[in-house]
Structure 1
């Protein structure tokens, strides 16, 4: 039998697995964790009193609180976060678009750092958000070193529920073909695959011994990004080199 702490952990993790919106109904969360709606409602009320989730007064839906997002921003590999933050800020200043750092967690791309300017499109991943691997620039870049069999295993569940009307790949063959192209050119690109009007470009980050530890990407309106893909990739490669150099010095 799982403990109360394990039940709370499962509920909090469910916020990162549910679709593309940050707000969730009690019923949706109950289905996600396989528990009674009344039990989940009581847990959410307790988490709300503790400042970990908040409820919209109009829709009655729940979202993670800023306290949780701040905790997420400080979690994980602090060396990677410290190395990336100033470089992403400079990248935002040069591109005017949102810049993000993501890492792989199971079959998801998890956003751990986000920088934006006042002119940035307020879209793309927020800190603590997880996204599918097969239809995001960060996700596919995280798969650059993954063999085809494991790619198929990681994306299989998401391919069974394709997002209608978007440009996401619908079969494992399409995923692998996009990966082959993106590996060859050195960057991933997802245009309107996960969100209409949004285009993202991603580049892997590696340790000095070549291990892929994360991805940085820039996201912006398709109308602005679609004719700037090569420039965005060039800037991302420069940013990745700077982050990797700092990370190497931190780890030496």
Structure 2
């Protein structure tokens, strides 16, 4: 007698099905190909999307694999392209280097997701998020870069944020965030100036495609005093050079 749980089996069937397709697929096509009722496909996708195993293309309404599925077991080949550049930055500063992409949650809130990380066991931070970790954009350097340089960012969507005041430096309203985004666009980099935790600083820059749109962002983070010892200007310079090197290959 089978002990399979039907709902789990359907979810896995859908994930495996999406894995076989390069482009997002609509509910009707999934239902037809897998022989599952549309209503069941819809409910299953909603559950998977809530945990970021799948994501919906907002323009077409179709579904593809989400960042959590992609990053499981560190099998994120799509983002391994960034690895040599992250390794180079880590070797230069011996600080944590993260590559993140923009995620729009099911409730239409912009967040950043870490898809690649280069770190040292000897430099463990009190805040050291893992691959697949999701963070609010308003208080992270990569998040600010993604907001400032991604197309279609909506002020209405930004108003969905429930701003959490992690420290006295944390941005806490939309006007301040919009002003910060303008500043980031002008200077080409962003700072998390102890905005998530006192004593922790992060510097990030966007990685741009040929249209000048952010496809990702890369950052160097560490204890504030250590980053100041490296000189923030030098970190910004090297991050911008790294971003330019990556963009030149896209």
Shorter-chain TM band? 0.5 to 0.7
The answer for the alignment partner of 2:51 in structure 1 is 12
Does 2:125 match 1:126? no
Contact 2:150 2:214 in 1 (8 A): no
Aligned to 1:85: 83
Query: 1:211: how far off?
Result: 2.9
Once the two structures are superposed, residues 99-129 of structure 1 have per-residue CA deviations (whole angstroms, 9 ceiling, x without a partner) of 0100001111111000012333333432001
Pairing 1:106-145 to 2, within 5 Å after superposition: 106=104, 107-122=110-125, 123-145=127-149
Could you tell which deviates more after superposition, 101-110 or 119-128? 119-128
Aligned-partner Cα distance in 2 for 1:181–1:104: 19
Structure number with larger C-alpha Rg: 2
Secondary structure of 2:81's aligned partner: helix
CA drift of 1:157 comes to: 2.6
Cα distance in structure 1, aligned partners of 2:155 and 2:142: 17
Are 2:207 and 2:247, in contact at CA under 8 Å, matched by a contact in 1? yes
Q: Aligned-pair RMSD on alpha carbons?
A: 2.8
Q: Which blocks of at least 5 consecutive residues in structure 1 are unaligned?
A: 15-66
Aligned length, in residue pairs? 190
Counterparts of 1:70 and 1:146 in 2: how far apart (Å)?
A: 22
Aligned to 1:74: 75
Q: Would the alpha carbon gap of residues 207 and 166 (structure 1) be closer, same or farther in structure 2, given more than 3 Å must change?
A: same
Q: 2-side partners of 1:178 and 1:70: how far apart?
A: 30
Q: Is the 8 A contact 1:191 1:198 kept in 2?
A: yes
Q: Is the 8 A contact 1:102 1:215 kept in 2?
A: yes
* Equivalent residue, structure 2, for 1:199: 201
Q: Name the CA distance, whole Å, in 1 between partners of 2:248 and 2:74.
A: 22
Q: Which residue of 2 aligns with 1:189?
A: 191
**Distance in 1, Cα, partners of 2:236 & 2:211:** 23
Inter-partner Cα distance in structure 1 for 2:72 and 2:44: 18
CA contact (8 A) 2:149 2:212 kept: no
CA distance in 2, matches of 1:72, 1:233: 31
- Where 2:160 maps in the other structure, the secondary structure is helix
Gaps of 5+ in 2: 1-38, 54-67, 105-109
TM-score with structure 2 length normalisation? 0.66
Could you tell me the TM-score, scaled by structure 1's length? 0.66
Per the alignment, residue 179 of structure 1 pairs with: 181
Deviation, 1:188, is 0.3
Which residue does the alignment assign to 1:217? 219
- Once the two structures are superposed, residues 118-144 of structure 1 have per-residue CA deviations (whole angstroms, 9 ceiling, x without a partner) of 333333432001111111101000012
Quote the offset at 1:146 in angstroms.
Answer: 4.9
Q: Is the CA contact 1:133–1:155 (under 8 Å) kept in the aligned structure 2?
A: no
Structure 1 residues 193 and 2: CA distance shift in structure 2, 3 A: farther
